[in-house]
Amino acid sequence: MRLALRIEVATDAGARQGVPALLRLLDEYQVTASFCISLGPDLSVYPFSGLLPGWIRRRLPAPYIGRKQRDNLLAIQHAGHDIGLSSFSALEWYQEAAYQSKEWVSSEITRSVDSYVDLFATTPHFYGALGFQTNSKLFSEEAALGLAFATDVCGRNAFFPESEGVSSHCPQIPTTLPRLDELLLDPEINSSNLHQYLFAECQRVLPHGEVFTLSAEREGGELLDTLEKLIVMWKGAQWEIRSLSDLFKQIDSSQLRHHSIGWKKRATGDRYIAMQSGVVD
C-alpha cells in the first residue's frame, strides 16, 4: 500500500521552526515527502489580519518567507524532497481565492513562479493549493503552465478537474485522509490516541494510494510526536511512504476520468474546502 505526505508551508514560523524539525524526522526514518510552499509575505504575523479588508492587508509590511527563510527552504531541496509551487501570499489565498478574478489569480501564480525559480533555480512541476482553496481560474493556470499534476482538493482518486466550464487536463492527486486538527474535534480523540484514529482511516484500498496533508506549523511543532508515531506504524505495516511525484509515476493518466469540483464545509466550521465530486461524461 502506498501513501504520500503533502506538507504545507504557509508561514514564516512554519519555515523557521517546523521545516527543520520535519526534515530531521523524515531523515531519521528515510522518508521522502512533498512540500507545498508559500514564498511571499506572511501576513499572519499580524493578529486578526484575516478580519481586515484586503486593501488594508496588502499594505501591511510583512516578512517574505522565500527571502527570510531561504536557507531552511533550500535545505528541503538539498535533502531530496519534492517541492511544489503554491500561492504567493498564503493569507490572501485563504481569504480570497474562491471568488477572485482571472487577473488576480494569474498575478498570484506569476509571482509564485518567479519567486520559486529565483529560489530553487528550477521550474516547478506541480502546484498545491493551500487549505484546499481553489477556483476554475487556477485549473486553467495549471494547465497553461504545463505542470505534471496538481494537488488542490480532497477526494479519493486521481482525476481531471472540471469547474465553472473549465475542463483541465492537468491531473489532480487529491488528499484522501482527514487532517489531524479535524480529528481532534472528536471528544473521544486526544493527543495520546490521535495517531491510532488516523491509522485506522487508512485501512482500505484506494486505486492510487493515500495522501495525507499536514502543516509545517502544527505537525512540525506540537503534533510532531504524533507524526512520528504514524510513520512508525505505517512503516511497521509495510506501507510505502513516498512523494507525490513518485505516486504520480504509478498513475496511468490515460485512464483518468473527469470529475466536477464541489465544496464541503470543514469539520472545524471555519471555511469550505474544494472536493472531488461526480464524474463528468
The residue whose grid cell reads 516547478 is: 124
Sign of CA dihedral 176, 177, 181, 186: positive
**Rounded Cα–Cα distance for residues 155 and 271 (Å):** 17
Read off the pTM.
Answer: 0.94
143 confidence band (pLDDT: 50, 70, 90):
very high
pLDDT of residue 265: 86
pLDDT of residue 268: 67
The residue whose grid cell reads 481569504 is: 95
Strand partners, 226: none
Mean pLDDT value across the chain: 93
Spatial strand order in the sheet of 258-265? 166-167, 160-163, 258-265, 272-279
Average pLDDT, integer, range 51-66: 75
Quick: pLDDT tens for 227-239. 999 999 999 999 9
pLDDT of residue 55: 59
Q: Where are the domains of the chain?
A: 2-279
* Count of positions (residues) in the chain: 281
Instruction: Count CA atoms within 13 Å of residue 258 on its CB side.
Output: 11
Q: Where are the alpha helices (DSSP H) in the chain?
A: 12-13, 19-28, 54-57, 65-68, 70-78, 90-96, 102-120, 136-145, 180-183, 194-201, 224-236, 244-249
- From the CB of residue 171, how many other CB atoms can be counted at a distance below 10 Å? 21
Closest C-alpha among 20, 68, 40 to residue 220: 20
At 236, phi and psi to the nearest 5? -65, -30
pLDDT of residue 269: 66
Lowest mean pLDDT among 39-53, 81-95, 185-199: 39-53
Fold (topology level) of 2-279: TIM Barrel (3.20.20)
Beta strand residue intervals within the chain, DSSP E: 2-9, 34-37, 82-85, 126-127, 149-150, 160-163, 166-167, 210-215, 240-242, 258-265, 272-279
Q: Please tell me which of 54-58, 98-102, 241-245 the model is most confident about, judged by mean pLDDT.
A: 241-245
pLDDT of residue 52: 62
Quick: pLDDT tens for 193-206. 999 999 999 999 89
The cell for 15 is 519555515
Lowest mean pLDDT among 138-142, 149-153, 270-274: 270-274
- From the CB of residue 65, how many other CB atoms can be counted at a distance below 10 Å? 29
pLDDT score of 281 more than 80: no
Closest C-alpha among 34, 13, 16 to residue 247: 34
pLDDT of residue 58: 73
The span from the first CA to the last CA of the chain, in angstroms, equals: 30
Strand partners, 240: 2
The residue whose grid cell reads 505495516 is: 237
Amino acid at 76: I
